[in-house]
Amino acid sequence: MMNKGKAAHILDDKLKEAMAAATAVAPGFSQEGIHAFRVAVKKLRAYLRLLNTDEGQPRLKLTKKFHHLYDIAGEIRDAQLKLEQVKKYRAALPSYIKELSASIASGKSNWNEHYDEAILKKLQKKLTAKQLHKLSSATLATFCKQHIKILEEAADAIPGDEMIHECRKSVKDMLYNTKLAEKHWTKAYGKVAHLPLATLDSLSDLLGDYNDERQLLDSQLAYLPRLCNSDEQTKLEKLSTREKKIKEEQKQLLLKELKRFVTAVAI
């Protein structure tokens, strides 16, 4: 059992980390700063989802305006990663490089337009307004079972990108909360310590790599019809063909690791 004071303290820590990371995004908009903000939000959101698993807890979620900032930061980071991945083709793909650079600039402008400290204060007020209750040690195990079921369904199917994305969210939520429990909630951790968490960590990395590759390929395919330069179009087509192959190879790797995880869980 986690007492209500400790549950509230952890929520406060996660909230402060996300708020501090949000204030550090601009004006630099570094990949590291944006990544730190998004990871802090994911950890906060994972903890909220854990709390919401316990029926006795107040229902808690992010505010719409704060989530919008999270989405804007994601769009900037996605474009930054795509630009980094294709920068060696800078001379061959000037229009596509320009498009990605414009997307980054637009995202920064969008952030500056929508960011306001009042959004952070409103989030803080919303998440701390209701008193948390004691949290049963069984809550984490219940939470993990729900997400393992999602992974099992994917392992038994031929998952498309949407299902794989759902798997990624489930894996991240389990990892964040089991690591939290290992540090702050030993009784709850003891109920899930038998899970193959090292395999889950490996699966998380593979899902992340696949997601980056998928977004890069989607971006290239979406931009192809807009190209007027036939030479650049041919080069981008060749690059996207290569990316398709890489994406499929990464998919097979993550599916293999996914099956390894669900098989180990079933034993």
Q: Residue 128's domain is classified under what CATH number?
A: 1.40.20.10
pLDDT at 226: 93
Q: Are residues 189 and 246 in the same domain?
A: yes
Q: Are residues 242 and 263 in the same domain?
A: yes
CA–CA separation, 93 vs 132, rounded Å?
54
pLDDT in tens, 216-261: 999 999 999 999 889 999 999 999 999 999 999 999 999 999 999 9
Q: Are residues 116 and 155 in the same domain?
A: no
Distances (CA, A) of 205 to 132, 199, 201: 33, 10, 7
Q: Are residues 145 and 122 in the same domain?
A: no
Q: Are residues 145 and 93 in the same domain?
A: no
Q: Are residues 23 and 82 in the same domain?
A: yes
Neighbours of 121 (CB within 10 A): 11
Tell me the average pLDDT across 44-63.
Answer: 95
Domains contained in the chain, number: 2
Q: Are residues 1 and 132 in the same domain?
A: yes
Put simply, whether the predicted model's pTM sits higher than 0.85 gets the answer yes
% residues pLDDT > 90 (the chain): 94
Last residue of a domain, one of 136, 160, 189: 136
Last residue of a domain, one of 114, 136, 158: 136
- Taking alpha carbons only, the member of 17, 20, 71 closest to residue 44 is 17
Q: Are residues 141 and 125 in the same domain?
A: no
Average pLDDT, the chain: 95
Q: Are residues 233 and 264 in the same domain?
A: yes
Domain containing 123 equals 1-136
Q: Are residues 57 and 164 in the same domain?
A: no
- In angstroms, how far apart are the furthest CA atoms of the chain? 65
pLDDT at 232: 92
Q: Are residues 75 and 151 in the same domain?
A: no
Q: Does residue 267 have a pLDDT over 80?
A: no
CA–CA separation, 22 vs 119, rounded Å?
10
Composition of the chain by helix, strand, coil, percent to 5: 80, 0, 20
Last residue of a domain, one of 136, 154, 188: 136
Q: 64-86 and 94-114 are packed helices; what angle lies between their axes, rounded to 10 degrees?
A: 160
Q: Are residues 233 and 259 in the same domain?
A: yes
Phi/psi of residue 135, nearest 5 degrees? -115, 120
CA–CA separation, 158 vs 163, rounded Å?
9
